[in-house]
Chains A and B, each alone.
Chain A
Amino acid sequence: MDFSHILNSRKITTSVVLGVFLTLLSFGRLYAQEQKAPENGQETKTEEKFDPTETIMEHIGDSHFYHVGGGIAFPLPVILYTNKGVEIFMSSVFGHEGEEIHQGKYYKYALVHDKVKAVTGDDKTIDATASVFDLSITRNVASLWMSVILLLIIFLSVASSYKKRVGKAPKGLQSFLEPVILFIRDDVALPNIGYKYARFMPLLLTVFFFILINNLIGLIPFFPGGSNLTGNIAVTLVLSVITLLVVNLNGNKHYWGHIFFPGTVPIWLWPLWWVVELLGIFSRPFALMIRLFANITAGHIIVLSLISLIFVFKSVAIAPVSVAFVVFMDILELLVALLQAFIFTLLTSLFIGSAIEEHHH
């Protein structure tokens, strides 16, 4: 009797989780970033036509200003590596709205589509002779370093409590994070990589917690968050290139042998095989890059769209509906934040495992 109850409740739990996943798949991934909403409200009051696409793109993209909310924004440092030398100035030189042109040491600069460009005149025509490499501390870079510092604080303090409490049960933050670390080790690394897992643990743990904390920071709609770091293709590109490098630099002779000398395949098919295998090498990290980027960005877009509905309809009445949906989406996003960090780590360890697997034919 008792057993059947437990089984029933498990079935229910499983179906609830499944339902959540299906909802997720059909609706897309959801995410919050709504700090500019009141501002947009003011914009609409000035009778400008509200363009949700522009607002949303602005929010999920990068910026040279860090919006705190309520129209207040921090200027951020602009670092330019031009063909004439390095230029450093604050983004406040472009004015509050980012409309002004700044006369730098070497060129005139202006913000074109929120990017710093060298311009020739006052009409913002791009200077074709200038080559400008933008290394500015943008909103994403600032958020990136904040998350790095946060991760360092968290894990260095956890490491110190491990040193202090040798042989004792974990306590506090340590006991909160230890099950996660053990989960990565026992359920992600060990079954996929095998007995050589220990070498890859630092990378997998760093990747997991880096993605997780940035996903979570992205969920916060105002200052410490408000960025869309893991929903930025540059960030996911770097992470997937790291996976690509780690997998292929650790590939053993079986891995490469399988790619270049597929024994049972007829010789005349080998060139085709090489093409397919080389595509495979790149397509797997590529899928990782797109998966993380698309999941997080789609979430942001849906949440922002729901908020934008209020301004599209120019009605407060729609607000409760929007807010209710946004709360629902935010909760789903919490799940997605964990899930995407987990999937990235899981697939990375799976690829590593397939590259270092020892075949015994």
Chain B
Amino acid sequence: MNPLVTPDLGLVVWTTVAFAFLFFILAKFAWKPIMAAIGDREASIEKALLKAEAAKEEMERLVHENEALIKQARAERDQILSDAKKVKDQMISDAKEIAHKEGARMIELARVEINNQKAVAMADVKNQVAVLSIQIAEKILQGQLEDQKKQDELVSQLLKEVKL
């Protein structure tokens, strides 16, 4: 039989011994701690990844929350602004109305005053005219009554007029 394919029993024994020795030493002192360490590391990486994922989700939630808050704040601002505009418009229109009424009232007062003043002035003018008329009449009378003849003439005229 070809020596190549004839297992040498001595080598079989030695291989068995050496492999068994290698297997037990490595299994106990190498593979066990190595596999355990790799497993632990993988577990911790997985945990870290899960934590990172959770943190990401939390961040997203916060961002959403912030966005909602900002949206809400904007809406509130718009509300406030539109309210303020309404109030402003109201105030302006109110002020206009009041001013209008006040103006009308003052105009009325002014008119009344003007009328009063006019009446007063008219009365005054009338008095002045009366005084002036009297004075003029006085002057005229005085002039006409300066000589005796004319006085007599007047008296006689007047007497004529008086009809008894």
Which residues on A are within 8 Å of B, measured CB to CB?
57, 60-62, 113, 133-138, 140-141, 144-145, 148, 151-152, 155-156, 158-159, 162-163, 166-167, 178, 181-182, 185, 198, 201-203, 205-206, 210, 232-235, 237-239, 242, 293, 297
Select the stretch in B27-35, B57-65, B83-91 that faces chain A. Answer: B27-35
CB contacts (< 8 Å) of A60 on chain B: these are 4
Contact of B15 with A238 in the complex, beta carbons under 8 Å: yes
Residues of chain B from 1 to 42 with CB closer than 8 A to chain A in the complex = 3-16, 18-19, 21-23, 25-27, 29-35, 37-38, 40-41
What is the distance, in angstroms, from B34's C-beta to the closest C-beta of chain A? 5
Pick 5 A–B contacts, CB within 8 A, sort by A.
Answer: A141-B14, A148-B22, A159-B34, A202-B27, A239-B19
Check if B26 sits within 8 Å of A152, measured CB to CB: yes
Query: Could you tell me the distance in whole angstroms from the C-beta of B148 to the nearest C-beta in chain A?
Result: 147
B-side contacts of A135, CB under 8 Å: 10, 13-14
Contact B7 A233 (CB under 8 A): yes
B44 in contact (CB, < 8 A):
yes
Q: How many residues belonging to B are interface residues under a CB distance threshold of 8 Å? A: 34
A105 to B101, CA, bound (A): 147
Measured CB to CB, the residues of B under 8 A from A are: 3-16, 18-19, 21-23, 25-27, 29-35, 37-38, 40-41, 44
Across the interface, which residues of A come within 8 angstroms of B22, CB to CB? Answer: 148, 151-152, 206, 210
Q: How many Å from the CB of B107 to the closest CB on chain A?
A: 87
Whether A202 and B12, one on each chain, are in contact in the complex, defined by CB atoms closer than 8 angstroms, is no
Which of A61, A156, A203, A233: most chain B CB closer than 10 A? A233
Identify the interface centre among B10, B13, B16, B37: most chain A CB within 10 Å of its CB.
Answer: B10
Judge whether B18 and A145 touch: CB under 8 Å. yes
In the complex the two chains form, is A202's CB within 8 Å of B9's CB?
no
Q: Which residues of A contact B32 (CB under 8 A)?
A: 202
Asked if B15 and A144 sit within 8 Å, CB to CB, the answer is: yes
| A162 proximity list for chain B (CB < 8 A) | 33-34, 37-38
* A235 B10 Cβ-Cβ under 8 A: no
Contact present for B10 and A138 (CB under 8 Å): yes
Closest A residue to B41 by beta carbon equals A167
Given A61-B3, A162-B33, A166-B40: A140 and B26 interface contact (C-beta under 8 Å)? no
Do A203 and B18 have beta carbons less than 8 Å apart?
no
Q: Are A238 and B12 in contact (CB under 8 A)?
A: yes
User: A167 contacts B44, CB within 8 Å?
Assistant: yes
Q: Which 8 A-B pairs have the closest CB atoms?
A: A202-B27, A155-B30, A162-B37, A234-B11, A234-B7, A202-B31, A238-B15, A159-B30
Residues of B contacting A152 in the complex (Cβ-Cβ under 8 angstroms): 22, 25-26
Given A61-B4, A152-B25, A203-B23, CB of A138 within 8 Å of CB of B11: yes
A91 nearest CB across to chain B (Å): 13
Q: Please tell me if the beta carbons of B6 and A233 are within 8 angstroms of each other in the complex.
A: yes
Whose C-beta in chain B lies nearest to the C-beta of A237? Answer: B7
- For residue B57, give the distance in angstroms from its CB to the closest CB of chain A: 25
Q: Are B23 and A202 in contact (CB under 8 A)?
A: yes
Q: Which of A133, A202, A210, A237 contacts B10 (CB 8 A)?
A: A133
B30: A residues at CB distance < 8 A: 155-156, 158-159
Whether B12 contacts A234 by the Cβ 8 Å rule is yes
In the complex, are the beta carbons of B26 and A155 less than 8 A apart? yes
Q: A155-B30, A297-B4 are in contact. Are A206 and B23 (CB under 8 A)?
A: yes
Known interface pairs A144-B15, A158-B34, A297-B4; 15 further A-B residue pairs with C-beta atoms within 8 A, sorted by A's residue number = A61-B4, A133-B9, A141-B11, A155-B31, A159-B33, A162-B33, A162-B37, A166-B37, A182-B38, A201-B31, A205-B31, A206-B31, A235-B15, A237-B12, A293-B5
Chain B minimum-CB-distance residue to A238: B15
Task: Name the B residues within 8 Å of A61 (CB-CB).
Answer: 3-4
Q: A144-B14, A233-B4 are in contact. Are A178 and B38 (CB under 8 A)?
A: yes
